[in-house]
Copies of this chain bind each other. A is one copy, B any other.
Amino acid sequence: MTMLPEKLLTGYRTFMAQRYANETMRYRQLAEQGQTPETLVIACCDSRAAPEIIFDTSPGEIFVIRNVANLVPPYEPDGEYHATSAALEFAVQSLKVKNIVVLGHGRCGGIKAALDTESKPLSPGDFIGKWMSLVAPAAEAVAANELMTPFERQTALERISIRYSLRNLRSFPCVDILEKKGRLTLHGAWFDISTGELWVMNPETGDFLRPDPELVDLQPGQ
């Protein structure tokens, strides 16, 4: 009897034979002592953009929220269920992370759906439509520019939505206060699936730049 997709079971056996075998002590210590990740990464669910792969992290390094299009809703203490806000609160207040990285990526299906003004809801509940409405004003502004190609519009909205999520992060009092005290730093980054390139946001200008592997400073590009 196989109770998991066979491919996942095979992968799990590789994990045990390699990664876990190599890092047994680290896993045991992490289990005993609990996690103390320094960084929260808010990433997309996309199967091609896992932050643990892109940042080649070890277990215990990054606490990871993944939702469609790596969005952060604005602070709304309304007593509803908020998966992202709850995880954010846990990371900042309980784990006391020092960094938050909003990690977007190219060819994002959620962003594409937000730009497709003629799409029909996937369900009567239209969860995805409602979720992507978090960036609706930006999506409308970008979609209206017919001089840009569809690909250019998509990249533009992907990057705008990262800046938008960073702004919403600051609407949470705990984030705002800790950032002003210098105990929490916010970052934006955008991953290009095709080229593997990571474009990092300049916090002052909002532009996305590629880190230079040689010089460790950042050069603008588009």
Contact = CB atoms under 8 A, between A and B. Distances in A.
Contacts of A150: 205
Nearest to A1: B217
B91 A45 contact: yes
Given A50-B50, A87-B68, A123-B173, A148 B160 contact: yes
Contacts of A101: 4-5, 8
A39 B89 contact: no
* A: interface residue count bin: 35 or more
A210 to B, nearest CB: 7
A104 to B, nearest CB: 11
Interface in A60-99: 60-68, 71, 73, 75-77, 79-91, 93-95, 98-99
Nearest to A13: B213
Most buried by B among A90, A131, A200: A90
A24 B38 CA distance: 30
Interface string A1-20: 11111011101111110111
Contact of A90 (B18, B65, B68): B68
A127 B85 contact: yes
Contact of A27 (B37, B68, B187, B194): B194
A82 B81 contact: yes
A56 to B, nearest CB: 4
11 contacts: A1-B218, A8-B62, A8-B101, A24-B196, A27-B48, A31-B48, A35-B48, A65-B66, A83-B83, A86-B127, A94-B122
Given A45-B91, A46-B63, 11 more contacts: A12-B54, A12-B211, A27-B193, A28-B194, A35-B48, A82-B130, A89-B122, A149-B206, A152-B156, A195-B210, A195-B221
